[in-house]
């Protein structure tokens, strides 16, 4: 497992009619999450019906971008398309501050390997993936 | 007891060798496994009038197998699914036979799980190039979070933190299942390992090491299900289906972390129904099987199915409790961790053989049910193997179960 291997391009999110506002906001450097107009519950990933009350009126709403590491893994295999030369790399699931168990997947730089722990406070930043695509990432604060 | 408890039986089992690579098509392997299972039952292919299989776009289908084997079927359906689907298709078979759609069914899985499409999406030449992430993939693929090891590793890391359990509990499972594989001539990995071997093995996806991960193989497996009236005339004593649950889901099944409690995996919703249907309690179970794609998936299924309390599985498995001749033997063929990877059906096959008292081990008389019980001489037949609880796992959010008994119970 040494040396560079031929790498594929990192996957590009294909925004659809449900998710487009999320990706549009990310491109503009803002984190938005669907919030239920009826009961106030936050829903992520985007969906058609509120998880808490099944109402249909869900509005993308800016959130603080703060949260905490809910769990993490360190991937050592060069098995993931687009990430062949990133290994080892860290994945985290962030619990967004606005609501318990409101989860979002992200990465941390591998340099944070010694610092990453469950409960570590994080805040959002954005990674430019080119071609007008940006994805939310998080950093330890 | 359920109204159909003990009315249906598993009467035939068969498989191809675990290969890496097979150099065969899934059709060729499926035909072999189906033929062997039907012959094992003492039936002819023309006695089978229903066939089902499951796959993830990586296998041949029932109509192709039926054509290749010259079978005319009254029912053929192939479903989309991986782990936990085999047990669910047994439930389908019961319903179909009960309703009169067919009389005797064969269920198969055929996969080049190593040389063809692997579960992380890799191909033999490297990863499949992915240009776009659609649907649910929009919220995980862009961060390189896709393989089962990464997904289950996320749950496992949180589990360790919440329960105080350590990865030595994972090691207990790897060691027990490997010991059973050492008694199984068909297993890919047969050299016994220690807790320390596990702890020293390299990281795959932290918190999983190499010895936490299953052995992907190319293989086909098949089982034959029929009604008890027909079962009594066949080659082996029947294995009775006492109860189960079939691809039970948690809430929020497509996003397994957005739930009240991530350790509350799907089995929790099913086990009371399975044990109630079977009319037994946990103390009646002589041995178990667990979907061990990873050591952790076995650990969490013990809790989910009520064999121990929440957060107690690490203590529960300590000191070799899951080994043969101990309290609750698990995955007696070596399981996915050490025998090979069949998306769950091999556990059903091993359970059937144990319940028939015909584990295909080193004992010269195994085919007639004569065993030495001498582990040093390679016997892996349990002395008492009357009731088995087999637990299937798809993801954290999907599970199946099959409680079986032999004629002695
Ligand atoms: Zn709502």
- For chain B, percent of residues with pLDDT exceeding 90: 87
CA A49 to ligand 1 centroid distance, Å = 8
Report which of B146, B170, B297 is spatially closest to residue A89, judged by C-alpha positions.
B146
Residue B342 pLDDT exceeds 70: yes
| Domain shared by B221 and B205, yes or no | no
Q: Do B21 and B64 lie in a common domain?
A: yes
In a domain, B136, yes or no: no
Give mean pLDDT, residues B63-89. Answer: 97
CA distance A130 to chain B (A): 13
Nearest CA among B112, B111, B110 for reference residue B33:
B110
Query: How many domains does chain B fold into?
Result: 2
CA angle A106–A92–B209, rounded 5-degree value: 130
How many angstroms separate the alpha carbon of residue A32 from the centre of ligand 1? 17
Partners of A94 in the beta sheet? A69, A104
**What integer pLDDT is reported at residue B252 of this predicted model?**
79
What mean pLDDT comes out for the span B40-50?
98
Q: What is the per-residue pLDDT across A19-45, written as a single tens digit (0 to 9) for each?
A: 999 999 999 999 999 999 999 999 999
A29 and A96 in a common domain = no
Q: Are residues A25 and A55 in the same domain?
A: yes
Spatial separation of the C-alpha atoms in residues B359 and B351, rounded to whole Å: 9
Residue A48, domain member (yes or no): yes
Residue B212 has pLDDT above 90, yes or no: yes
- Chain B interface includes A114 (CB < 8 A): no
> B269-283 burial, b for 16+ CB within 10 Å, e for fewer?
bbbeebbebbebeee
Q: How far apart are CA B39 and CA B45, in angstroms?
A: 8
Q: Using one digit for the tens of pLDDT, what is the confidence trace for A48-97?
A: 999 999 999 999 999 999 999 999 999 999 888 889 899 999 999 999 99
The beta strand positions in B287-385, using DSSP E, are 287-290
Same-domain status, A54 and A79: no
For residue A140, being part of any structural domain is answered with yes
Contact A80, B144 (CB under 8 A): yes
Q: Which of A9, A19, A91 sits opposite B131 (nearest CB)?
A: A9
Q: Are residues A78 and A33 in the same domain?
A: no
Report, as an integer, the average pLDDT of B155-177. 97
pLDDT value at residue B307: 98
- Count Cβ atoms below 10 Å from residue B220 Cβ, excluding itself: 32
Distance B132 CA to ligand 1 centre (A): 31
Whether residues B335 and B187 fall in one domain: yes
Q: How are beta strands B218-227 and B8-15 bridged, if at all? A: antiparallel
Q: Is residue B8 part of a domain?
A: yes
Do residue B84 and residue B153 come from a single domain?
Answer: no
Q: How many whole angstroms from A35 Cα to the centroid of ligand 1? A: 8
A91 touching B (Cβ < 8 Å): yes
At residue A135 the predicted structure's pLDDT band, cuts being 50, 70 and 90, is very high
Range of the domain at A131: 64-141
- Supply the range of the domain harboring residue B264: 145-215+240-409
ipTM of this complex prediction, to 2 decimal places? 0.95
What mean pLDDT comes out for the span B376-402? Answer: 96
**Do both B209 and B228 map to the same domain?**
no
pTM confidence score: 0.94
Give the pLDDT score at B409.
76
Whether A97 is in a domain gets the answer yes
Whether residue B207 is found in the same domain as residue B228: no
Residue B24 lies in a domain: yes
A89 and A138 belong to one structural domain: yes
- Between chains, do B158 and A10 touch, taking CB under 8 Å as contact? no
**CA A37 / ligand 1 centre spacing (Å):** 7
Mean pLDDT of A111-119: 94
CB atoms within 10 A of CB A18: 15
**pLDDT-based confidence at A7, cuts 50/70/90?**
low
Domain boundary among B167, B201, B236: B236
Residue B109 shares a structural domain with residue B183: no
* Same-domain pairing of B183 and B228: no
CB contact under 8 A, A93 and B161: no
Cα dihedral B258, B259, B262, B266 sign:
negative
How close, in Å, is residue B167 to chain A by CA atoms? 14
Dihedral sign from CA coordinates of A85, A89, A95, A97: negative
B101 is catalytic: no
Interface check for A41 against chain B (CB to CB < 8 A): the answer is: no
| Distance of alpha carbon B253 from alpha carbon B121, whole angstroms | 21
| Test the A interface: residue of B124, B142, B153, B154 with most A CBs within 10 Å | B142
Q: Nearest-CA residue of chain B relative to A6? A: B126
For residues A42 and A92, membership in a common domain is answered with no
- Indicate whether A137 belongs to any domain: yes
Both A28 and A39 in a single domain? yes
Query: Nearest-CA distance from B156 to chain A in Å?
Result: 9
B324 and B184 within one domain:
yes
Tell me, what's the pLDDT at A46? Answer: 95
| Domain match, B305 and B225 both | no
- Residue B159 appears among annotated catalytic residues: no
Across the interface, do A84 and B127 touch by the CB < 8 Å criterion? yes
Radius of gyration over alpha carbons of chain B, in Å? 20
Q: Are residues B41 and B91 in the same domain?
A: yes
In this structure, is residue B137 part of a structural domain?
Answer: no
Q: Is the minimum CB–CB distance between A9 and chain B shorter than 8 Å? A: yes
Is residue A6 a part of any domain in this protein? no
User: Who surrounds ion ligand 1 at CB < 5 A?
Assistant: A 36, 38-39, 41, 50, 52-53, 55
Q: Does B178 have pLDDT greater than 70?
A: yes
- Please report whether residue B313 resides in a domain: yes
Do residues B223 and B344 share a domain? no
Residues of B in contact with A13 (CB under 8 A): 132-133, 138, 141-142
Contact B303, B309 (CB under 8 A): yes
- Domain end among A7, A42, A63: A63
A113 in the same domain as A73:
yes
| Residue of chain B with shortest Cα separation from A5 | B126
Which one of B236, B267, B301 terminates a domain?
B236
DSSP-derived letter for residue B248 is E
Which of these, B166, B123, B152, lies nearest to B313 by C-alpha position? Answer: B166
* Among B236, B269, B286, residue at a domain's last position: B236
Residues A75 and A141 both lie in one domain: yes
If pLDDT is split at 50, 70 and 90, which confidence band does B129 have? low
Same domain, A51 and A76: no
Do β-strands B387-395 and B287-290 pair in parallel, antiparallel, or remain unpaired?
parallel
B349, pLDDT greater than 50: yes
Q: What is the distance in angstroms between the Cα of B274 and the nearest Cα belonging to chain A?
A: 28
For chain B, percent of residues with pLDDT exceeding 70: 97
| Contact in structure between B223 and B379 (CB atoms under 8 Å) | no
CA–CA distance, B96 with B292 (Å, rounded to integer): 29
Q: Could you tell me if B260 lies within 8 Å of chain A, comparing CB atoms?
A: yes
The two tokens of residue B81 are 């699914």
- CATH number, domain at A120? 2.40.50
CATH number of the domain to which B54 belongs: 3.40.47.10
Shared-domain flag, residues A46 and A102: no
Contact criterion met (CB < 8 Å) for A84 and B134: no
Ligand 1 centre to CA of A58 (Å) is 8
What is the number of structural domains in chain A?
2
Q: Which residues 59-88 of A have a C-beta within 8 angstroms of B? A: 70-77, 79-84, 86, 88
Percent helix, strand, coil in chain B, to 5, is 35, 20, 45
Question: Does one domain contain both A36 and A102?
Answer: no
């Amino acid at each position: 497992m040494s040396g560079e291997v031929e790498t594929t391009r990192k996957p590009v999110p294909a925004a659809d009619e449900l998710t487009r506002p999320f990706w549009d906001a990310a491109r503009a450097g803002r984190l938005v999450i669907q919030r239920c107009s009826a009961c106030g519950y936050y829903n992520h990933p985007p969906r058609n019906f509120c998880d808490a009350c099944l109402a249909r009126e869900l509005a993308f709403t800016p959130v603080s971008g703060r949260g905490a590491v809910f769990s993490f893994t360190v991937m050592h295999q060069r098995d993931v398309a687009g990430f062949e030369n990133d290994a080892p790399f860290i994945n985290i699931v962030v619990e967004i501050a606005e609501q318990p168990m409101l989860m979002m997947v992200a990465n941390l730089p591998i340099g944070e390997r010694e610092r990453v722990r469950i409960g570590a406070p994080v805040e959002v930043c954005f990674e430019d993936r080119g071609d007008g695509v940006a994805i939310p990432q998080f950093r330890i604060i | 007891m359920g109204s159909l408890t003990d009315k249906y039986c598993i009467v035939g089992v068969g498989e191809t060798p675990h290969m890496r690579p097979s150099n065969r098509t899934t059709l060729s392997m499926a035909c072999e496994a189906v033929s062997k299972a039907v012959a094992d039952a003492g039936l002819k292919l023309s006695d089978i009038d229903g066939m089902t299989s499951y796959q993830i776009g990586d296998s041949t289908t029932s109509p192709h197998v039926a054509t290749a084997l010259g079978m005319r079927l009254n029912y053929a359906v192939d479903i989309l699914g991986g782990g936990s689907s085999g047990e669910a298709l047994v439930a389908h078979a019961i319903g179909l036979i009960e309703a009169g759609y067919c009389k005797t069914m064969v269920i198969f899985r055929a996969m080049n799980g190593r040389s063809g499409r692997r579960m992380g999406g890799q191909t033999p030449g490297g990863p499949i190039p992915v240009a776009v992430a659609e649907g649910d993939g929009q919220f995980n693929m862009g961060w390189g979070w896709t393989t089962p090891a990464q997904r289950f590793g996320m749950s496992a890391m949180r589990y360790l933190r919440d329960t105080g359990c350590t990865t030595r509990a994972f090691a207990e499972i790897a060691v027990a299942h490997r010991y059973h594989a050492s008694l199984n001539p068909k297993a890919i990995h047969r050299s016994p390992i220690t807790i320390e071997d596990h702890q020293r093995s390299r990281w795959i996806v932290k918190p999983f090491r190499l010895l936490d991960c299953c052995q992907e193989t190319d293989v086909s497996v098949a089982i034959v299900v029929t009604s008890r009236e027909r079962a009594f005339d066949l080659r082996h004593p029947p294995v009775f289906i006492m109860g189960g649950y079939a691809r039970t889901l948690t809430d929020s099944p497509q996003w397994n972390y957005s739930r009240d409690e991530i350790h509350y995996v799907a089995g929790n919703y099913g086990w009371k129904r399975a044990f109630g249907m079977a009319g037994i309690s946990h103390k009646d179970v002589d041995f178990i099987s667990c979907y061990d794609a990873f050591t952790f998936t076995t650990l969490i299924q013990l809790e989910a199915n009520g064999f121990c309390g929440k957060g107690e599985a690490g203590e529960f498995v300590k000191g070799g409790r899951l080994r043969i001749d101990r309290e609750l033997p698990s995955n007696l063929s070596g399981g996915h961790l050490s025998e090979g990877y069949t998306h769950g059906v091999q556990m059903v096959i091993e359970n059937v053989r144990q319940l028939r008292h015909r584990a295909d081990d080193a004992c010269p008389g195994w085919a007639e049910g004569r065993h030495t019980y001498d582990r040093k001489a390679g016997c892996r037949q349990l002395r008492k193997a009357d009731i088995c609880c087999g637990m299937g796992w798809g993801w954290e959010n999907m599970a199946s179960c099959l409680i079986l008994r032999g004629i002695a119970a």
